[in-house]
Amino acid sequence: MSFLVLDHLRKSFGPTRVVDDFSLSVDKGEFISFLGPSGCGKTTVLRMVAGFEAPSDGRILIDGQDVTRLRPNQRQIGMVFQAYALFPNLTVAGNVGFGLRVAGVPRAARADRVAEMLALIGLPDLGGRYPWQLSGGQQQRVALARALAPSPRVLLLDEPLSALDAKIRLSLRNQIRDIQQQLGITTIFVTHDQEEALSISDRIVVMHRGIADQTGTPSDIYNHPATGFVAGFVGTLNRFSAEVVDPVAGHVRVEGADIALGRLLPPGRVTLAARPESLKVAPEGIPARITGVEFLGSVHRLRARAGGAELVLDRFNAPGEALPRPGDHVRISAAPAAWLVLPE
């Protein structure tokens, strides 16, 4: 049985429905990311799990217990906020030990647990400092230790990396994942950053307009997007309008070029799509004209135009390899399995 169950959750603010029939089952120790653009309802679902918002309909179960009507302080859930929300009147140790103090844990046991948590986040010597004496990354790590100290059943992370600079964000996200795996704690992570979600999640829920468009592993979400929205939101996608020539054999025609996909296709017109790293300059394929070449370190990014479509192709940086130049007429292709077929 799943450890955390969100069962047909709905939430409306006045006449506006922000979450619609959202269901999800999470196993114990799983790391789930809610990914989506601003206003898609991901934070609202998280806040319903935390108890800060009451669902208009549906149930929330943790370890078999229905917590839908429980107050936030009765749910045994740890939460980390985007703006850290450290208590300014308390030291780092005071912050980390706050939940234990509320729970009536004796002073000695509290001190041991605080020391353990500070060691876990790599700040063992900062217990006596106040929040304003710490950097943003340190504050967020303290917030993580504070949320974990009372051993919550579920950990909720509400865009915890958004306020940090790129370098800190990268190191902290790895640290969050390491700690989560070390403790085996069931975690929900809300983000609008696809790279974050793809890199640390066991599964991702892509949300759009209050519903879960697709739930799957990072690889599933990236390589096999279920909807046009998921395909466009996660990663960069090159799209072509294609005519299905042979639905049974899986042949399509794009800009006068025949492409064999080798799978059953719907009759009529479809959208053919491919990731930048899947497209190649090849002897056969869709005719295109190179409009620009950018050097991004590990890759060269080629920009091209094929009919009305603007394309992006990524090629690994291999010193000595010849690259097309702006203005060159080339043909573009991809492996049959790399093509995504989306409804027109």
Partner 1 sequence: MKRFWSWAAIAFGAIYFLLPLIGTIEFSLRMRRGEYSLDAYASVLADPNFRATFGYSVVMALLTILLGVLIVVPTAYWVRLRLPRLRPVIEFITLLPLVIPAIVVVFGYIRLYNTSSVLPLTGTATGTNILLLCGYAMLALPYMYRAVDTGLSTLDVRALTEAAQSLGAGWVGIIGRLILPNVLGAVMSGAFLSFAIVIGEFTMAALLNRPAFGPYMQLLGANRAYEPAALAVIAFGVTWGCMGLLQLISRLLGVRKTAT
Question: Which residue's CB is nearer to partner 1, number 99 or number 218?
Answer: 99
Could you say which residues in the range 232-251 bind partner 1, by CB under 8 A? Answer: none
- Out of 3, 59, 81, 309, the only residue in the binding site for partner 1 (CB under 8 A) is 81
CA atoms within 13 A on the CB side of 111: 3
Applying the rule CB under 8 A, the residues between 304 and 343 that interact with partner 1 are: none
Residue 299's identity, in one-letter code, is V
Could you say whether residue 73 binds partner 1 (CB under 8 A)?
yes
| Selected binder of partner 1 within 23, 39, 69, 87 (CB under 8 A) | 87
160 vs 218, beta carbon nearer partner 1: 160
Distances (CA, A) of 107 to 19, 89, 90, 102: 43, 19, 16, 12
Among 5, 61, 70, 83, binds partner 1 (CB under 8 A): 83
Structure tokens at 280: 């190649």
Cβ–Cβ under 8 Å, residues 113 and 149: yes
Stretch of 9-17, 96-104, 108-116, 275-283 contacting partner 1, by CB under 8 A:
96-104
Q: Facing residues of 154 across strands?
A: 77, 186
Examine residue 13 and tell whether it contacts partner 1 (CB under 8 A).
no
CB 268, CB 246: distance < 8 Å: no
- Looking at 51, 55, 225, 276, which residue binds partner 1 (CB under 8 A)? 51
- Restricted to residues 128-187, the positions that interact with partner 1 (CB under 8 A) are 130, 132, 143, 146-147, 150, 156
Supply 155's token pair. Answer: 């950990």
Element containing residue 257 per DSSP (H, E): strand 257-260
Is 52 among the residues that bind partner 1 (CB under 8 A)? yes
Structural tokens at position 112: 């041991």
Contacts of 135 (CB under 8 A, 6+ apart): 168
Whose Cβ is closer to partner 1: residue 132's or residue 316's?
A: 132
Nearest distance from residue 89's CB to partner 1, in Å? 4
C-alpha to C-alpha distance for 95 and 303, rounded to whole angstroms: 51
- Give the binding-site size for partner 1 (rule: CB under 8 A): 30
The distance of closest approach from Cβ of residue 197 to partner 1 in the complex, given in angstroms and rounded to an integer, is 22
Distance CA 180, CA 148 (A): 10
Footprint of partner 1 on this chain (CB under 8 A)? 50-52, 71-79, 81, 83, 85-89, 98-99, 102-103, 130, 132, 143, 146-147, 150, 156
